[in-house]
Amino acid sequence: MTDRRHEIESLLVEGRSFPPVADAVHVRGMEAYRALAAEAKADPGTFWGRLARELHWTKPFGHVVGAPPPAVTWFADGETNLCANALDRHVAAGRGDHTAILWEGEPGEVVRWSFRRLLEETCRFAAVLTSLGVRCGDRVAIYLPLVPEAAAAMLACARIGAVHTVIFGGFSAPAVRGRVEDAGACVVVTADGGWRRGKEVPLKPAVDEAVAGLACVRHVLVVRRTGSEVAWTPGRDRWWHEERAHAPSFVPAASLPAEHPLFILYTSGTTGKPKGILHTTGGYMVGTWATARWVFDLRPDDVFWCTADVGWVTGHSYVVYGILLNGVTTVMYEGAPAHPAPDRFWSLVARHRVTVLYTAPTAIRAFMRLGDAWPQRHDLSSLRLLGSVGEPINPEAWAWYRRVIGGDRCPIVDTWWQTETGMILVSPLPGATPTRPGSATLPLPGIEAAVVDAHGKEVPDGAGGLLVLRRPWPAMMRTLWRDDARHREVYWDRFSRPGAPVYLTGDGAVRDPKDGYLRILGRVDDVLNVSGHRLSTMEVESALVGHDAVAEAACVARPDPTTGEAVCAFVTLKQGQSPSEGLRDALRHRVEHEIGKFARPADVRFTDALPKTRSGKIMRRLLRDVAAGREVAGDTSTLEDYSVLARLREEEE
Ligand code: WT7
């Protein structure tokens, strides 16, 4: 019944456009946006160089953009330290007492760390890592709940030039092991556990299982969070609070070349093996700093809440780096969105006077379903801006977000980007761009996006095609960790010509003939997006075929009204095996065990045979139609998008 009302509302709101706000501080008005875009296009070096010089460099750069991609460099002859720019710079400017991290644990504790305190904790982490043998260039794995120590550990790595690889706390032991091993991490930072839905999620046991017999791992540094009993390997394992007690509160920040590796973040591609996306120091720093400022129109007293976990790129760029680089308070909330009651988010916004809320469509849809009464109980008047990220947002959810959460007052920035891009690339600017439900609108200054067909030729506006990027940007990935060949093959080889590099995003998009606005349709490849978590159908398939009873498995995405997409698994069994509810559960459990809970297939369908072409290729298109057949979100635009996407995927196959 309420769904019906939302649907009508969404139809009324679609096609409507909402004007930019008048009180923006950074990019004020469409003319200002156009001037920036024109300047960036005419002379990217001067444009990005001017921005970069607003940050602190220990050795000034002479060059801005180096070789063309894939081997691109930014600010290559300069030296800097990202941690010093995010912390020391603000303390030196007299903002040491300003809150850097406002953290709330799921059980309800609230902790505020000022910039001075965060700098101290970061220095202690840096000193402890160094004492455990971590040197510049070494890899450190971070597998923590969303606690302030996670940010301090990341910043500590950046301070000494160690390369962090943060592993989302929802990943299972085998998934952790694969990542730690591939990165060759010498230290794993973890915790006894964390809180989620009132229960402890144990982390240390997963690490024990993950690193058993791994020669690269010399130490496991354990943060005490839940206080529960953990197994201990003497010599290897160290308590953070014990090491911290005798660590100095200041260590100098290393002067690092701009292209020094900053982090590796594993993400799903189209194969069963996750890709280690490598980001480097200077370009990532400039890109996340500038885009956070533009897109969120940041002000010194903002209380900025990005609800992502630091285990995903959104948490790297807009919980930690981009926000702290701007000297702004970042909110971290450890637990589940609806715990202990469905109004936890709204109570948090009200109690901490959050000014900017940046979250994912899947969360918005889930809240929408819980009803308007929960947010209406709280004073949300501190909010001035709302953001969306991770997947296409349907107009219905957009309209609800704007009305119920934003009080019809806050603009919504629908931000498109990827782990690979490091920073937001397509988004409205709140003071410049009229917004429209379901549209990420225009590329940011310096970004050249195009929509092309299977041959790389631009399609007419209004037609669906592949989204590509034709100009380098500072926070772009540099390579895949230890696999530059795959980097070139996946992202660059298909459409690039000598002197004209073309980056393939893997997303489908349509450009509006009227105003050039981009509508992002979703992935055209076998990467799917479940609740904003990126997953490869191949990863799920290999977990399934690992089960003794399974002969073959094929997974496809189907639309889901809450999670955006859901995994639908088609499974054929070996001779002598027969389908049962028990087996279905066992298969789901197997995926949870191999990858993590979030990857569990929504549907497991047993079938006698998988449909194949004469050459033996599984006909995924057919499976997608079967999987999607039952229901589609009550939103016609979603349906239309899905059919364009289906056609694009078909062309890809
Ligand atoms: C994929 C990247 C970037 C942070 C979170 C996800 C999809 C992301 C949007 C958006 C439509 C979006 C794309 C993209 N996506 N933002 N605003 N509208 N789709 O990072 O895990 O690297 O996934 O998420 O399909 O390629 P990621």
Question: Each residue of 20-34: pLDDT tens digit?
Answer: 999 999 999 999 999
* Residue type at 96 in one-letter notation: G
**What's the rounded Cα separation, in Å, for the pair 124 and 429?**
38
Ligand 1 in reach of 326 Cβ (< 6 A) = no
Note the pLDDT of residue 614. 80
299: exposed, middle or buried (C-beta count within 10 Å: 0-12, 13-18, 19+)?
Answer: middle
User: 608 CA distance to ligand 1 centroid (A)?
Assistant: 35
For ligand 1, what atom is nearest to the CA of residue 532? 6
Note the pLDDT of residue 1. 40
576: left (phi over 0), alpha (psi -120 to 50) or beta: left
Note the pLDDT of residue 633. 46
**Nearby residues of 456 by Cβ (< 8 Å), 6 or more positions away:** 468, 494, 495, 502
User: 522 CA distance to ligand 1 centroid (A)?
Assistant: 8
Strand 449-452 to strand 464-469: parallel, antiparallel, or no bridges (unpaired)?
A: antiparallel
Ligand 1 in reach of 389 Cβ (< 6 A) = yes
User: 443 CA distance to ligand 1 centroid (A)?
Assistant: 14
Position 10 pLDDT exceeds 60: no
- 181 half-sphere exposure, CB direction, 13 A CA radius: 15
Note the pLDDT of residue 611. 85
Mutation test residue for ligand 1: of 510, 529, 539, 648, the one with most atoms within 8 Å of CB: 529
Note the pLDDT of residue 630. 47
Cβ atoms within 10 Å, residue 306: 26
Question: Between the CA of residue 555 and those of 387, 609, 628, what are the distances in Å?
Answer: 31, 14, 12
Q: What percent of the chain has pLDDT over 70?
A: 96
Question: Between the CA of residue 284 and those of 279, 309, 332, what are the distances in Å?
Answer: 7, 19, 22
What is the average per-residue pLDDT within 544-562? 93
580: exposed, middle or buried (C-beta count within 10 Å: 0-12, 13-18, 19+)?
Answer: exposed
587 contacts 552 by C-beta, under 8 angstroms: no
Ligand 1 in reach of 149 Cβ (< 6 A) = no
Position 351 pLDDT exceeds 60: yes
Strand 275-280 to strand 479-480: parallel, antiparallel, or no bridges (unpaired)?
A: antiparallel
What is the average per-residue pLDDT within 125-146? 98
Closest listed residue to residue 501, CA positions, set 16, 3, 68: 68
Ligand 1 in reach of 151 Cβ (< 6 A) = no
* List of long-range contacts for 452-460, beta carbons under 8 Å, 24+ apart: 452/495, 454/651, 454/652, 456/494, 456/495, 456/502, 460/513
- The per-residue pLDDT for range 208-229, each reduced to its tens digit, is 999 999 999 999 999 999 999 9
Note the pLDDT of residue 14. 63
- Name the one residue in this structure whose structure tokens are 């929509």: 451
Note the pLDDT of residue 636. 55
What is the average per-residue pLDDT within 524-541? 90
Q: What percent of the chain has pLDDT over 90?
A: 86
User: 392 CA distance to ligand 1 centroid (A)?
Assistant: 8
Lowest mean pLDDT among 4-8, 17-21, 117-121: 4-8
Ligand 1 in reach of 565 Cβ (< 6 A) = no
Ligand 1 in reach of 143 Cβ (< 6 A) = no
- The per-residue pLDDT for range 456-470, each reduced to its tens digit, is 999 999 999 999 999
Note the pLDDT of residue 638. 61
Cβ atoms within 10 Å, residue 228: 12
User: 51 CA distance to ligand 1 centroid (A)?
Assistant: 26
**Angle 31-32-33 (CA atoms, 0-180°, nearest 5)?**
90
For ligand 1, what atom is nearest to the CA of residue 505? 26
* Residue type at 243 in one-letter notation: E
Position 239 pLDDT exceeds 70: yes
Question: Between the CA of residue 301 and those of 94, 104, 327, 349, 510, what are the distances in Å?
Answer: 14, 19, 9, 15, 37
Question: Between the CA of residue 290 and those of 47, 278, 286, 325, what are the distances in Å?
Answer: 12, 20, 6, 9
Ligand 1 in reach of 359 Cβ (< 6 A) = no
Note the pLDDT of residue 579. 95
**What's the rounded Cα separation, in Å, for the pair 247 and 220?**
17
User: 389 CA distance to ligand 1 centroid (A)?
Assistant: 6
Ligand 1 in reach of 523 Cβ (< 6 A) = yes
**Mind listing the domains of the chain with CATH numbers?**
84-254+309-328 (3.40.50.12780), 527-652 (3.30.300.30)
Note the pLDDT of residue 5. 62
Position 78 pLDDT exceeds 60: yes
Ligand 1 in reach of 421 Cβ (< 6 A) = no
- The per-residue pLDDT for range 254-275, each reduced to its tens digit, is 999 999 999 999 999 888 889 9
User: 139 CA distance to ligand 1 centroid (A)?
Assistant: 26
What is the average per-residue pLDDT within 393-414? 96
Question: Between the CA of residue 382 and those of 117, 318, 355, 623, what are the distances in Å?
Answer: 26, 20, 5, 47
Note the pLDDT of residue 30. 98
- The per-residue pLDDT for range 93-103, each reduced to its tens digit, is 999 999 999 99
- Name the one residue in this structure whose structure tokens are 């000494």: 160
Note the pLDDT of residue 631. 45
Closest listed residue to residue 71, CA positions, set 258, 274, 259, 257: 259
**What's the rounded Cα separation, in Å, for the pair 563 and 519?**
19
Question: What is the DSSP secondary structure assignment for residue 130, as one 8-state letter?
Answer: H
- Name the one residue in this structure whose structure tokens are 């973890």: 190
461 contacts 512 by C-beta, under 8 angstroms: yes
User: 396 CA distance to ligand 1 centroid (A)?
Assistant: 19
Ligand 1 in reach of 361 Cβ (< 6 A) = no
User: 528 CA distance to ligand 1 centroid (A)?
Assistant: 10
- Name the one residue in this structure whose structure tokens are 């498109």: 416
Ligand 1 in reach of 49 Cβ (< 6 A) = no
